[in-house]
C-alpha cells in the first residue's frame, strides 16, 4: 500500500474477507465497488471497524479476474473524507485490474 500523505510504501495487512459477505457478494457480481461513503455503503459498511483506524472514508475496489474467477482485488481508498468516484476513475480501476490479471496469468 502507498500512503501519499506520508510518501511511504507499507506492506498491507492481510484481511480475512470471510467476515464481509455483502462485500464479497458485490465483488463477485460487479466489476467494481464504488463506495462514496464506505462506512455507510451497504456493500462495505460491515468493514467499518477495519476502515476507521486508517481513516478510510471512500473505497473503489475492482475485482481481478482470471477465467471468470475473482483472484484478487485492486483497492483504492480516500482517507479523511468521503469521495464521489467519477465514471472515468471507476473505468480506470477496472482497466488496471484487467492488467493485473494479465500479469498474474502470464506468470
Tell me the CATH number at 19: 3.30.450.40
d(CA 98, CA 65) in angstroms, rounded, equals 7
Can you give the residue range of the structural domain that contains 96?
Answer: 2-106
Q: pTM for this one?
A: 0.89
Count CA atoms closer than 13 A to 4's CA, side-chain side: 5
Q: Confidence band (pLDDT; 50, 70, 90) for 2? A: confident
Mean pLDDT of 75-95: 96
In this model, does residue 77 exceed pLDDT 90? yes
Q: Confidence band (pLDDT; 50, 70, 90) for 13? A: confident
Give the tens place of pLDDT for each residue, 54-69: 899 999 999 999 999 9
Q: Copy the grid coordinates of residue 100.
A: 493485473
d(CA 98, CA 63) in angstroms, rounded, equals 8
The number of distinct structural domains making up the chain is 1
Amino acid at each position: 500500500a502507498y500512503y501519499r500523505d506520508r510518501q511511504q510504501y507499507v506492506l498491507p495487512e492481510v484481511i480475512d474477507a470471510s467476515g464481509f459477505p455483502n462485500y464479497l457478494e458485490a465483488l463477485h457480481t460487479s466489476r467494481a465497488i464504488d463506495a462514496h461513503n464506505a462506512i455507510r455503503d451497504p456493500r462495505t459498511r460491515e468493514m467499518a471497524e477495519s476502515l476507521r483506524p486508517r481513516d478510510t472514508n471512500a473505497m473503489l475496489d475492482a475485482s481481478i479476474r482470471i477465467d471468470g474467477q475473482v483472484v484478487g482485488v485492486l483497492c483504492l481508498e480516500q482517507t479523511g473524507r468521503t469521495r464521489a468516484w467519477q465514471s472515468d476513475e471507476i473505468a480506470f480501476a477496472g482497466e488496471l485490474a484487467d492488467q493485473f490479471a494479465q500479469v498474474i496469468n502470464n506468470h
